[in-house]
Amino acid sequence: MSTNEVSTTKILDCTLRDGGYYTGWEFSAEMVSDYVGIINTLPVRMVELGFAGKPDASGYFASLTNSKAQQAIDGLVAEACVMIDAKDVFGSAMPIADAVSSVTDGLEPGEITTVRLAAHYKTTGACKDICAELSRKGFRVFLNLMQIDAATPAEFEACIREVQQITTIDVLYIADSFGSMTPKRVREFVARFKDQSAPEVGFHGHDNRGWALANSMIAASAGATWIDCTMGGMGRGAGNAASERIIPILAELEASKEQPLLNHVIRHFDPLRERYRWGCSAAYQFAGSNLIHPSYVQALRESGELSEAGIIACLSDLGRDERMSFSDEKLRTMKAQLIN
């Protein structure tokens, strides 16, 4: 990677949002305070604080407002963003503008500068009005295309055309939701979006097949200007590219700043990793290779009832039309079959 590529890459740390899939979006005040402190020493452009628009019972960092953000991240130097789910807007009976206002209730530009809209790639065109409404409210808009690796060539080309029609996107994110993408595919996707669409391109990797770090580096070298990471790689399923590994490379971090970062991970995230056991494994690799929703693996591992081989056998029974979306009902059925 050239010096120019390193210097133009913007790092987004999304620990509090993606890591929340393990903690229920609750983190200790001490950890968050230490997190803000260490982020302030690093060349991190933006921090994703969590979700907005989820029920309060979902956790502190799943239903963020400006006042919550101010309390939680007092003193943060980097910009802050939150994520909303497009499905929360689509699922509302209200008009788009009213649904967006409901989901972003308590948010206004200031402490939080940016909203990331997570949307299945098949709904790209339908996100146009959501993006426009968020932009009208004064937010920068990052559109995260979920499960894009499952797109057929025709669907991928349709995505490009639909993105071209949305003029209010500031950054178009390729989200490797299944952790399935190969480095070759990452390079191809980044290059195609970069060449064919106006927004900057970002990449959000998952580590099911052990490629989150490599894929993130490939994305940056192919022209992605935003790269996601999390402390200790903590994130849904197998997790993400680890902040302590990718920041020293992308930002050419001085050793004097790397050591405190490593100590922060050792203190706060190694114990969480031991408890929740995220990271590449045989079961996650199988899920990634077969485009299976990572929450199935996460839930089956948390139950403690199956070995890795048992989880793989269980996943093998999922029908092709059942694999890509997580269903609590299907999970209960799978567990019931184990008992019987």
pLDDT tens profile 36-86: 999 999 999 999 999 999 998 899 999 999 999 999 889 999 999 999 999
Measure the CA–CA gap between 291 and 156, rounded to whole angstroms. 16
Q: Check pLDDT > 80 for residue 340.
A: no
The answer to whether the CB of 239 falls within 8 A of the CB of 233 is yes
Read off the amino acid at residue 108. E
* Nearest-angstrom CA–CA distance, 316 and 323: 9
From 175-179, 299-303, 331-335, the region with the lowest mean pLDDT: 331-335
Residue 163 and residue 172 in contact, taking contact as beta carbons nearer than 8 Å? yes
Question: Which residues pair with residue 227 across a beta bridge?
Answer: 11, 203
Predicted confidence at residue 7, as pLDDT, reads: 54
CB-CB contact of 58 with 17 (8 Å): no
Under DSSP, the state recorded for 57 is: G
CA distance 246 to 255: 14
Contact 124, 159 (CB under 8 A): yes
Q: Which residue shows structure tokens 């609750």?
A: 26
Mean pLDDT of the chain: 95
> Cα(220)–Cα(194) distance, rounded to whole angstroms?
11
Backbone torsion region of residue 81, taken as left when φ is above 0, otherwise alpha when ψ lies between -120 and 50, otherwise beta: beta
Residue 281 makes CB contacts below 8 A (sequence gap 6+) with 238, 297, 301, 308
**Does the structure show a pLDDT above 60 at 234?**
yes
Q: In terms of Cα–Cα distance, which of 172, 111, 113, 108 is closest to 146? A: 172
User: Can you spell out the DSSP letters for 83-122?
Assistant: EEEHHHHHT-SS-HHHHHHHHTTT--BTTB-EEEEEEEGG
Per-residue pLDDT at 339: 61
For the cut 70, the answer to whether the pLDDT of residue 3 exceeds it is: no
Closest CA to 49 of 35, 41, 57: 35
